[in-house]
Amino acid sequence: MTHGRFITFEGIDGAGKSSHIEPLAAALRARGDEVVVTREPGGTALAEALRALFLELEMDALTEALLVFAARRDHLRLMIEPALMRGATVLCDRFTDATFAYQGGGRGFDWTVLERLEQWVQQGRQPDLTLWFDLAPEAAAARLAGARAADRLEREDREFFARVAAGYARRRAQAPRRFVCIAADRPREAVWEQVQAAVFSATESRSP
Ligand SMILES: Nc1ncnc2c1ncn2[C@@H]1O[C@H](COP(=O)(O)OP(=O)(O)OP(=O)(O)O)[C@@H](O)[C@H]1O
Ligand SMILES: [Mg+2]
pLDDT band per the 50, 70, 90 thresholds, residue 144: confident
* 127-137 pLDDT, tens digit each: 999 999 999 98
Residue in 123, 71, 74 with CA at minimum distance from that of residue 99: 71
* 96-106 pLDDT, tens digit each: 999 999 999 99
* Predicted local distance difference test score (pLDDT) of residue 206: 45
The enclosing domain of 12 has a CATH number of 3.40.50.300
What is the model's pTM? Answer: 0.93
* 29-88 pLDDT, tens digit each: 999 999 999 999 999 999 999 999 999 999 999 999 999 999 999 999 999 999 999 999
pLDDT band per the 50, 70, 90 thresholds, residue 207: very low
Calculate how far, in angstroms, residue 98's C-alpha sits from the geometric centre of ligand 2. Answer: 12
Q: Which ligand 1 atom sits nearest the alpha carbon of residue 133? A: 21
Indicate the range of 4-13, 85-94, 108-117, 134-143 predicted with least confidence: 134-143
Site to substitute for ligand 1 among 8, 18, 92, 189, most atoms within 8 A of C-beta: 18
- Supply the range of the domain harboring residue 13: 5-206
Question: Is the pLDDT assigned to residue 205 strictly greater than 90?
Answer: no
Question: Is the pLDDT assigned to residue 203 strictly greater than 60?
Answer: no
Residues with CB under 6 A from ligand 1: 11, 13-19, 133, 143-144, 147, 187-188, 191
pLDDT band per the 50, 70, 90 thresholds, residue 202: low
Q: d(Cα 167, Cα 103) in Å, to the nearest integer?
A: 9
Mean pLDDT of the chain: 92
Which ligand minimizes its atom distance to the CA of 186? 1
* Predicted local distance difference test score (pLDDT) of residue 157: 79
Question: Is the pLDDT assigned to residue 139 strictly greater than 80?
Answer: yes
DSSP structural state of residue 78: I
> SS3 for 35?
strand
H-run or E-run covering 149? none
Q: Where are the beta strands (DSSP E) in 77-196?
A: 89-93, 129-134, 179-183
Q: Report how many domains make up the chain.
A: 1
* Residue 48, φ and ψ in degrees, nearest 5: -70, -35
Question: Is the pLDDT assigned to residue 204 strictly greater than 60?
Answer: no
> SS3 for 86?
coil
Site to substitute for ligand 1 among 12, 95, 130, 143, most atoms within 8 A of C-beta: 143
Q: Which ligand 1 atom sits nearest the alpha carbon of residue 9? A: 21
Calculate how far, in angstroms, residue 208's C-alpha sits from the geometric centre of ligand 1. Answer: 36
Q: Which protein residue has the closest C-alpha to ligand 1 atom 27? A: 13
* Predicted local distance difference test score (pLDDT) of residue 149: 64
Q: Which ligand 1 atom sits nearest the alpha carbon of residue 147? A: 29
Calculate how far, in angstroms, residue 13's C-alpha sits from the geometric centre of ligand 2. Answer: 7
Calculate how far, in angstroms, residue 1's C-alpha sits from the geometric centre of ligand 1. Answer: 37
